[in-house]
Amino acid sequence: MIFLGVLGALLTLLAAGFGLTLLLLRGRAQINLLEAAALAWLFGSGAISLFLWGGGLVAKGAPLQLGITALAVFFAAYGAIEARRRQVKFYFPKPRHPIEWILAGAIALEGAIIFFSAGSHGLGWDGLLNWEVKARYAFLNDGVIPAAYYHSASRAYTHPGYPLLIPLTELWFYRWMGEINQFFIKLIFPLYYAAGAILLATAGTRLTNRRWPGLAASALLFFVPALTSAPGDAAGGYADFPLGVLYLCSFAYLLLFSKSGAAFDLRVFAIATALLPWAKREGAILWFVAVLCGAAILWRRREKLPAYLWLLPGLFVILAWKLFLHFMHPAEGVEFLPLSLATVSGNLPRLGPIFRMALGEMLETTRWSLFWPGLTIAFLYLAVGMRDRRFFILAFAVGTPLVVYSAAYLLSAWPDYSLHLGASFSRLLLHVMPVGWLAIALAVSGSAAASPPPDNPDQSQNR
Amino acid sequence: MRHRTNFLIRYALPWAIFGVAFVLLGAFQIWPTVRGSTFGPVLPYHTTNSYLISLLKIRDGSERLQRALAALPADRPVAVLLPKDDERWIFVGYLIGYFAWPREVQIAPLTKLNAAHELHALDRDSLGGIFFAGFPPPPGFSPALSIGAGLTMVPKMVNAEPAP
């Protein structure tokens, strides 16, 4: 019975996501099934969690679940009808050379290990007490997070003000399973890993016009220990890696848009960017960075004003969530002091130690292997060796959050800010790490732009 | 030919070296974790039970906590008294909070200096139960139900209810 529940939750979520993906990709003549499946997972979990939150303001229990299931089916049907009407061709990108077979096989094996790992270890501390706990309380309250939870001072340690992408996706599974199940809920985190690996491979392919750089970056992703064998890893139930995958999706499609000028790439960028602040608070910073880069590319491409409207959906998410919290008055522990000139100037002596500790974390091979030195070399290749203008976008995408995150510890309210940094900084690095792999894929490809596209990714990029 | 050699020296070779070193370093970290993993158990309280095995030395900690809490009135808060700055017991306190919904959970960190005062200050009539985490209940707090190693619950006795 519980398997049927998992299947029902998964299928309805993917149906909603697939329908949305097909609508967003309207205008694309050929659609890579793997890419569509990865986007379907990201957008499906985003849509279902937003529906649960919005719908939960007016309904609960079976009517809420049935209503959202009907919406999911509607999106799937509408997307399918649109795709049929436009005679979209779906294709599965089969490997064609031994290298591609080896890399694709490695990616599949790594995904299987992440699934195995998810079934072996429990949720991490934050995975349980910041995220899953909200799904639990909502399940016990007939599908809606109880209003009393938000201002319960004794639950401030669960951060009631955190956004709800992960908890409400978990809730969707609990509703379908008919019970709270800490084992099966871990299934959703390897799916974020799979989506990230697929998007890295497909975006890497489309951006470099070669398959192997994207496949290689995707295969190497697994070997970052922070992602596979550290607290807060991809299977630990934390929101950090899902946020990183959304950020990867956002920048991958922004770069694709800058290359193709296709509206469907801009739309996927817009929706992935809009979901950033819904995954974690820091997502608002990432959203701002992505919007700045999006605006710069729209401006450089001399796009008209309506195109800029695609930068706004994330703002609606941020404002709606802020408004909701304004009425809920969530109880929160104090992690950071309010931003003021006096606080910043008073804590300026922290700057040197923060820089040293942040650098030390990035050079910690037990958590990052050689990822950060490799990324630095990749940026040098892109900037100096290849004079690739995408360097500016990718360096801004990776560098700005790192600077902002590090600077935030100037405002740390912990008695020892170095403990605060040690406890959280490595997980914050996961937000930008997948985008870093995209930069490595571009750098590794060398002079790849001269080669023809490998699997005919949409030459008919009509608007 | 020259272009090919140039490509090999500038791109293929450095990145191949980086790739091999990266994989080897990562694999040395990841392999012990993967090798030491066992799948399951497929249980609803997979996570909390695995924490409580190490925290309270019991295998069915979640079920025990659930049963203990089910015996308490749902509309009254519970108190958790635990040693201040002790990560282990703070986490146990949080897990009690996890299971205790919809009850409010008042976590009171105790030190040798404030223990007597905090115990005296407890409004026992308003509480549904008191958990003593990391130390046994002092005399006068009974009946004491042991949940696991170092964790005891003192439920509010029905006959201790104030007369209507």
pLDDT in tens, A244-288: 999 999 999 999 999 999 999 999 999 999 999 999 999 999 999
Angle formed at CA A445 by CA A440 and CA A451, multiple of 5 degrees: 150
List alpha helices for A313-416, DSSP H. Answer: 313-328, 341-346, 351-362, 365-368, 371-380, 390-408
pLDDT in tens, A319-354: 999 999 999 999 887 889 989 999 999 999 999 999
How much is the pLDDT for A226? 95
The sign of the CA dihedral A86, A92, A93, A97 is negative
Amino acid, res. A122: G
Dihedral over alpha carbons A195, A196, A201, A205 (to 10 degrees): 100
Phi and psi of B130, rounded to 5°? -125, 130
How much is the pLDDT for A134? 98
β-partners of residue A30 are A89
Contacts of A202 (CB under 8 A, 6+ apart): A32, A34, A35, A38, A93, A214
β-partners of residue A90 are A31
pLDDT of B62 higher than 60: yes
Mean pLDDT, all residues of chain A: 93
- Rounded distance between C-alpha atoms, residue B99 and residue B57, angstroms: 18
Confidence band, pLDDT 50/70/90 cuts, at residue B1? low
Confidence band, pLDDT 50/70/90 cuts, at residue A447? low
- Rounded distance between C-alpha atoms, residue B46 and residue B58, angstroms: 13
The sign of the CA dihedral A310, A314, A320, A323 is negative
Residues A370, B97: C-beta atoms closer than 8 Å: no
Give helix then strand counts, H and E, for chain B: 6, 5
Percent of chain A at pLDDT > 90 equals: 90
B-chain residues near A370 (CB < 8 A): 18, 21-22, 25
Amino acid, res. A373: P
The Cα-based distances of A233 to A168, A238, A277, A299, B94 in angstroms read: 20, 7, 20, 38, 22
Burial of A176 (0-12, 13-18, 19+ CB in 10 A): buried
A-chain residues near B126 (CB < 8 A): none
Query: Where are any strands of DSSP class E within A106-201?
Result: none
A-chain residues near B43 (CB < 8 A): 182-183
pLDDT in tens, A25-84: 999 999 999 999 999 999 999 999 999 999 999 999 999 999 999 999 999 999 999 999
In terms of DSSP bridges, do strands A89-91 and B105-110 run parallel, antiparallel, or are they unpaired? unpaired
Confidence band, pLDDT 50/70/90 cuts, at residue B119? confident
Residues A157, B47: C-beta atoms closer than 8 Å: no
- Rounded distance between C-alpha atoms, residue B60 and residue B79, angstroms: 22
Q: HSE on the CB side for A300, CA within 13 Å? A: 15
β-partners of residue B109 are B82
Nearest CB neighbour to A157, from listed B11, B39, B94: B94
Q: Are B70 and B153 in contact (CB under 8 A)?
A: no
B-chain residues near A446 (CB < 8 A): 7, 10-12
Nearest CB neighbour to A183, from listed B23, B43, B77: B43
How much is the pLDDT for B125? 86
Chain B closest-CA separation from residue A413 CA (Å)? 17
- Whose tokens are 């079934």? That residue is A119
pLDDT of B163 higher than 50: no
